Chains A and B, each alone.
Chain A
Amino acid sequence: MAYEEVKVRKPLGLILLPFFSVVCFFGAWELIVRAGIVPATMLAAPSDVGALFVDKLTNPNPDGATIFVHAWVSMQEAFLGYLLALGIGIPLGLFMGWFGVVRGIARPIFELIRPIPPIAWIPLTVFWFGIGLWGKVFIIWLGGVVPCVINAFVGVRMTNPTLIQMARTYGASDWQIFKTLCVPSALPMVFGALQIALASCWTNLVAAELLAADQGLGYLITMGRRLALPDMVVLGMVSVGVMGALIGLAIDEVEKRLLAGIRR
C-alpha cells in the first residue's frame, strides 16, 4: 500500500516572509548602530561582526586562537560531556525505573543533586580539575545527565502493566522483563532525551567556559568583555547559537533514522 504524498503549495509570500524578517532584523540592527542611536561601544553592528569573523578565520589575536580552534574546543567538550551523560544517565535511569534496589539507592541522591544548577559546581570543579578540558566536561555532563536519567526512568515506568503481567504468567524473571519489555517501551522517551540533553549540555558549556577556560566560544565572549570589544562578544554569541542549531539539526536527523527502525 503506497500512499501518494499530498503536496501543499505555500503562497510565495509565506515562503519569502522568513527571509524578509531576517533581513529587516539585521538591517534595523545595523542602522541603529550606524546612526549612533546605540553607541558602538555597547553594541557592534552586524557588518563589524562579519568583518571580525572573516579576520578571526586566520588571525589568533588578541584572544589567542582562531575561531575554528575556539569552535573545535567547544565541540570536543560538549560532545565528551554529552556522550558521557548519555552513557551513564540512560542506563541509570532505565535501571532506576525497574529495579527497586537501584531506585532506593540512587533516587534520593539524584533528587538532592538535581536542583543544583551545574554552574554552581564550577568553583569545586576548578579545585578538582583546574581549567582544562575535564573540568568543563564535568560541568557539561552534570547538565546532560539529569534529563537522560529522568526520561529513561519515566519511559520504563510507562511500560504497559498488562504486558508485564503477561510476561509474568510465562514465568519471566525480573531481568527478562526489564530486557524484553521495559527497555523497548522506554526507547521513544530515551530518544526524546537526546535532544533535551544536548540543549542542556550546550548551555552549560558556555557557562563553564565563561568562568574557567582559555579557549572555546564561551571564552571568546569573556575575552571580548575584558578587552571591551563588543564585536567579539557578539561573534562569540552568534557562533554559539549557529553551532547549537546545527548540532540540534544533526541530532534530529540521527533520531529520525533510529526511530524509523524502532517505532513501527
Chain B
Amino acid sequence: MPPAAPVKIDVRNLTKRFGDLLVLDDISFQVGRGEFLAIVGPTGCGKTTFLNCLSKLIPTSAGDIFIDGRVADPRVHNISFVFQEPTCLPWRTVRENVAYGMELKRFPTDKIRERVDYMLGLVGLAETQHLYPNQVSASMVQRITVARAFAVDPDLLLMDEPYGQLDVKLRYYLEDELVKLWQTLKATVIFVTHNIEEAVYVAERILVLSNKPTRIKAEVRVDLPRPRSLIDPAFVQIRKQVTELIRWW
C-alpha cells in the first residue's frame, strides 16, 4: 500500500546487525509528504534501534533512508527527534529551549524570534517562556521539546513514545495538541509507541512490526474522521485489528 501523498521518506532495505544478532531485517516502506505514520510493535522488537537508524544516530548495516530522494543527513535535512525522556536543557529558559534546534541549524536571528513566538503561541507556552524547565510541569516539559521539534520545520519528525511517561488524561490532551500541530504545520511524522490506542488515535497509517528480527508484519490504514472518538465502533474495530496483529501470547 503506497502512501496517498507524494513520497517524502523512502526507507529501502533497512537492515541492522549487532555482530551476529540481526535486529532489523530488510525493512522497506515509504512515508508520504505530510503523512502521520505510527509504528507499533511488541516489546523489545527493536523500535529504538529502528528510530536510531532512521535518525542517522547509528549507521545501518545495509539499506538506507532517503528524504526527497537524497540519503538522509542531519546536516542537510531537518530531522527532529522527540525522545521518550525529557531533553530540555535545564540551563535554558522555555523560550531558549524552543529556539535551540534552530540555533544549531543557524537560522537567522529574526527568523528564530518570529518562529519561537509562533510556536510558543501554538503550544500555549507564551506565558511561561521565561521560566526554566524545572519551574514548569512535566507535561509542559514535553511540550517544549515538541515545540522545539516542530520549530525547525522538519522534513522528518521522529517521536519515540513522547507521552509514555505521562498520565492518561494528559496524554489525550497532548495527543490532541500534537494532531493540531501536525495539521497546522504539515510535518511528516513517524510516531513510535507501544500504546495501540494512541497509535489509532493519532495516525493516518500504522505499521505493525514483528518480533526480532524485525520486519513489517502488517500495515493498517486509519481512515477515520478527526477528532476521533475512542468509543466509535470503527475506531474500536481498528484497535482490535491492530491488537490481534501485534499479539505474541
**Interface residues, chain A, with chain B CB atoms under 8 Å away:** 160, 162-163, 165-172, 176, 180-181, 184, 187, 262-264
Contact = CB atoms under 8 A, between A and B. Distances in A.
Given A181-B89, A262-B91, A171 B83 contact: no
Interface in B103-135: 103-105, 132, 134-135
Nearest to A262: B91
B104 A172 contact: yes
B159 to A, nearest CB: 12
B80 A170 contact: yes
A166 B83 contact: yes
Contact of A162 (B75, B87, B152): B87
Contacts of A162: 83, 85, 87
Interface of B: 55-57, 73-76, 78-81, 83, 85, 87, 89-91, 100-101, 103-105, 132, 134-135, 152, 158
User: What 5 A-B pairs come out closest when comparing CB atoms?
Assistant: A171-B74, A169-B81, A264-B132, A171-B75, A170-B104
B187 to A, nearest CB: 14
Contacts of A166: 81, 83, 87
B143 to A, nearest CB: 16
Given A187-B91, A264-B134, 4 more contacts: A166-B81, A171-B74, A180-B103, A264-B91
B200 to A, nearest CB: 27
B79 A180 contact: no
A147 B74 CA distance: 37
A176 B74 CA distance: 14
B79 A169 contact: yes
A92 to B, nearest CB: 22
15 contacts: A160-B87, A162-B83, A166-B83, A168-B57, A168-B74, A169-B56, A171-B75, A171-B78, A171-B79, A171-B104, A180-B104, A187-B91, A262-B91, A264-B90, A264-B135
A42 B103 CA distance: 68
Nearest to B87: A166
A167 B57 CA distance: 10
Contacts of B80: 169-170
Contacts of A165: 57, 81, 83
Contacts of A160: 87
A170 B132 contact: no
Contacts of B134: 264
A193 B105 CA distance: 33
A171 B105 contact: yes
Contact of A169 (B74, B76, B85): B74
A86 to B, nearest CB: 21
A69 to B, nearest CB: 44
Contacts of B56: 169
Interface centre among A162, A168, A170, A181 (most CB of B within 10 A): A170
Contacts of A176: 104
A152 to B, nearest CB: 16
Contacts of A262: 91
Nearest to B86: A162
B89 A170 contact: no
B55 A169 contact: yes
Interface centre among B80, B83, B104, B134 (most CB of A within 10 A): B104
A167 B104 contact: yes
B91 A170 contact: no
A190 to B, nearest CB: 13
A84 B81 CA distance: 42
A242 to B, nearest CB: 37
A170 B85 contact: no
Given A162-B83, A181-B89, A264-B90, A170 B57 contact: no
